[in-house]
A and B are shown apart, each in its own frame.
Chain A
Amino acid sequence: MKISQGAPGAKILAFGHYQPSNVVTNDDLAKTIDTNDEWIQSRVGIKERRIAPPSETEIDLAVQAGGKALAASGLSAADIDLVIVATCTLETQIPNAAGRVAARLGIDAPGAFDVNTACSGFCYALAVANDTIRAGSATNVLVVGTEKFSPWIDWNDRATSVIFADGAGAAVVGPSDTPGIGPVVWGSDGDRSDAIIIKDRNSFLHQEGQTVFRWATTALHPVARQACERAGVDPADLAAFVPHQANLRIIEAIARKIGADNAVIARDIVLAGNTSAASIPMALSRMIERGEVRSGGLALLFGFGAGLTYAGQVIEIP
């Protein structure tokens, strides 16, 4: 039997992002639930978030972000032979998101599958994209993180409704002579699967805030550092640290503990809320757009969330 020959490495060619147009401020939320701007900002760091109308689906968000990434990459739809969508908020499980996103973008007959590791989904999907290119299973991969949390949120629950939001981010990954995506460090802790959960199809998202906060601020920084070590990168040499945008206090605690002293820290949550699998590509895409990070610099991506799951890797910024 013959086996496929892959590329020596893979790299991210471009990012893209999309947010729904409807802005929901903390003051807007305070009109219907017992909360206020100061309470929300001090606990989670969010000032506003975007919520999609019922007519705009998570597929629509993904198509917007994916289309922008594709346009920025310089490739055409015909060049993409694999689409991976990371999401945990699909309205139904059948069909998957990736096939629909591909069809809407005019990508003809690609491999197409979804990844559900919730908030770490983009890093899992990116790791798989990297491996498929290096193994020769794909040439160019579109990776999308898309979430529409709004239908899964109890808008009377101030513990979750102030946090979660809608949005999408995407990356185009292609072959490279030099490595542009470092080794992934990933893992899970299924014993704590109840900490972030939608119990059944009639339930809303529930989160044990203190449990998740304790886990995120104590157990994860060694894993993030390990992702740097496996890539042979000193955290002090990182140009950017882009963790999942869960909570500003978690972001700042992990950033402090890994010693990314010279890195721009992604704080996209302030204007985006927690968009789970979308948060990392959306945050980095916006940092690139604002000129906060330079092309060729190294960024540590680090996702963590429901499962519990986590994954991270160092990448070269396109």
Chain B
Amino acid sequence: MAMTEQEILAGIGKIINEITGIPAAEVTPEKSFVDDLDIDSLSMVEIAVAAQDEFGVEIPDDQLKNLKTVKDVIAFIQG
């Protein structure tokens, strides 16, 4: 069964917390990775790798740069 947006958001929040130390509660759909969460390009790669393990969806590097907000990643994972 497909995961809900809330379930994916919770999963992404946990991943971002583990990689960057940012509290999961701060990871909300509207947040921009670079401008709001101050996450750099290498941490984005780590997040993409962890997201692949968690959700089984590969996020290639050429797609990664188009994913600006948490919402963008949720949409990508939902397909």
Kindly state the separation between the CA atoms of A217 and B45 in the bound complex, as whole angstroms: 10
Check B40–A42 contact: CB distance below 8 A: yes
User: Which residues of A lie under 8 Å from residue B40 when comparing CB positions?
Assistant: 42-43
User: Which residues of B lie under 8 Å from residue A214 when comparing CB positions?
Assistant: 45, 48-49, 61
User: Which residues of B lie under 8 Å from residue A42 when comparing CB positions?
Assistant: 40
A window 20-44: CB within 8 A of B: 42-43
Q: Which of A43, A211, A217 contacts B61 (CB 8 A)?
A: A211
Helix, strand, loop or mixed for chain A's interface?
Answer: helix
Check A208–B45 contact: CB distance below 8 A: no
Check A217–B46 contact: CB distance below 8 A: yes
B49, closest chain A residue (CB): A218
Check B42–A249 contact: CB distance below 8 A: yes
Cβ proximity bits B36-58 to A, threshold 8 Å, 1 near / 0 not: 00001110111011000000000
Q: Judge whether B64 is part of the interface by a CB distance below 8 angstroms.
A: yes
Check A209–B49 contact: CB distance below 8 A: no
User: Which residues of B lie under 8 Å from residue A211 when comparing CB positions?
Assistant: 61
User: Which residues of B lie under 8 Å from residue A247 when comparing CB positions?
Assistant: 42
Tell me the minimal C-beta distance from A39 to chain B in angstroms: 9
Tell me the minimal C-beta distance from B65 to chain A in angstroms: 8
Q: Judge whether A210 is part of the interface by a CB distance below 8 angstroms.
A: yes
Check B42–A208 contact: CB distance below 8 A: no
B53, closest chain A residue (CB): A218
Kindly state the separation between the CA atoms of A209 and B61 in the bound complex, as whole angstroms: 10
The total of chain A residues at the interface (CB under 8 A) is 12
Tell me the minimal C-beta distance from A211 to chain B in angstroms: 5
User: Which residues of B lie under 8 Å from residue A213 when comparing CB positions?
Assistant: 42, 45
User: Which residues of A lie under 8 Å from residue B64 when comparing CB positions?
Assistant: 210
Kindly state the separation between the CA atoms of A113 and B3 in the bound complex, as whole angstroms: 58
User: Which residues of B lie under 8 Å from residue A209 when comparing CB positions?
Assistant: 41-42
Kindly state the separation between the CA atoms of A247 and B61 in the bound complex, as whole angstroms: 18
Q: Which of B42, B46, B48, B49 contacts A43 (CB 8 A)?
A: B42
Interface centre among A208, A209, A214 (most CB of B within 10 A): A214
Cβ proximity bits A217-236 to B, threshold 8 Å, 1 near / 0 not: 11000000000000000000
User: Which residues of A lie under 8 Å from residue B44 when comparing CB positions?
Assistant: 210
Kindly state the separation between the CA atoms of A247 and B46 in the bound complex, as whole angstroms: 14
User: Which residues of A lie under 8 Å from residue B42 when comparing CB positions?
Assistant: 43, 209-210, 213, 247, 249
User: Which residues of A lie under 8 Å from residue B45 when comparing CB positions?
Assistant: 210, 213-214, 217
B44, closest chain A residue (CB): A210
Cβ proximity bits B57-68 to A, threshold 8 Å, 1 near / 0 not: 000010010000
Tell me the minimal C-beta distance from B19 to chain A in angstroms: 11
Kindly state the separation between the CA atoms of A214 and B45 in the bound complex, as whole angstroms: 6
Tell me the minimal C-beta distance from B62 to chain A in angstroms: 9
Tell me the minimal C-beta distance from B72 to chain A in angstroms: 16
User: Which residues of B lie under 8 Å from residue A208 when comparing CB positions?
Assistant: 61
User: Which residues of A lie under 8 Å from residue B41 when comparing CB positions?
Assistant: 43, 209-210
B41, closest chain A residue (CB): A210
A window 170-218: CB within 8 A of B: 208-211, 213-214, 217-218
Given A43-B40, A210-B64, A214-B49, 8 other A-B contacts at CB below 8 A? A42-B40, A208-B61, A209-B41, A210-B41, A210-B44, A213-B45, A214-B48, A214-B61
B contact set with A: CB distance below 8 Å: 40-42, 44-46, 48-49, 61, 64
CB-CB nearest 9 A-B residue pairs: A210-B61, A214-B45, A210-B45, A213-B45, A213-B42, A211-B61, A218-B49, A210-B41, A43-B40
Name 5 A/B residue pairs within 8 A (Cβ), A-sorted: A43-B41, A210-B41, A210-B42, A214-B48, A217-B49
